[in-house]
Amino acid sequence: MGKRLECIVSDLDGTLLNPDSEISEEDSYELLRIQEKGIPIVLATGRPYFYVSNFEQKLHITTPLICNNGSIIMHEGMVLRSWAMDPILCEQLILNLIEHKIPFSVHTYDGVYRSGSPPANLIIDIIKDPSKKVFYRHIDDLQMGPDMQVFKISIFGVLADKVREMIDYLSGLKKIQVAASGYGVLDITSANASKGKALKYVAEYIRVDLNNTVVFGDNENDISMFQVAKYSVAMGNSPAELKSASSFVTLTNKESGVSYALNTFFCGMLL
């Protein structure tokens, strides 16, 4: 198909993680084997860093991590690069969401402030590792003001037929961008931040060619990565729009679709 792959990039929820928020034995084995060949793995997720570090350790990943939909790039526990939202706009959005009683969360460097309970996938993580609970705080504890650094605001419970309408409305606001990251979930970040932009930064930092890079994703927030890497793979559980934008479509995250694609579509490029 082409030259030897230089990098493999994967989203987490809905992609590398199965419905139990775990990496399957098949995917874990394959990614560890590939790294032994000298091909780096990059994780790119909407999750904050403290909900990614355990997967970083499990897969022995030493490359930078793309977190909060590209708003923060972490490396060796430190911020390598970040794109925070405008604090004045953030405060307006937060107060508007509170007024209309819309459930949401605010992602900062030191934790996640929520107007309600954590989503199911993060509740599972907290049960498995209770120490992570300290990173969750109530929205009333958030100190708002000109020095506030917010990297992502997530809105929950958006009805399917209202998703596009709300995206169009929020996208009309300056300085932000909006993308669906899961069923009924909208993520708002700085207009200067995206997974694709962060991936370009990481690729240059670790000196890999995006023309020899494959990206795995399952939702709209992964499209920006599909646009900058030559090869893109949509999971079988992805919406039709993402599948249409991808180079290949693999099995679902419940069926270890990442390792299946690597062995089916890219076997000759992993030698």
Looking at residue 158, its pLDDT comes to 67
Domains of the chain by start residue, with CATH: 7-82+194-269 (3.40.50.1000), 87-190 (3.30.1240.10)
47 token code pair: 């999750």
Q: Which residue, chain included where needed, has tokens 């929950």?
A: 156
3-state secondary structure of 19: coil
pLDDT tens for 124-153 read 666 666 665 556 788 989 999 889 999 999
Could you tell me which of 89, 82, 67, 71 has the C-alpha nearest to residue 144?
Answer: 89
C-alpha span between 104 and 25 (Å, rounded): 33
Q: Which residue has the higher pLDDT, 200 or 187?
A: 200
Query: Contact 179/186 with Cβ under 8 angstroms?
Result: yes
Radius of gyration of the chain measured on its C-alpha atoms: 18
Q: Which residue has the higher pLDDT, 163 or 122?
A: 122
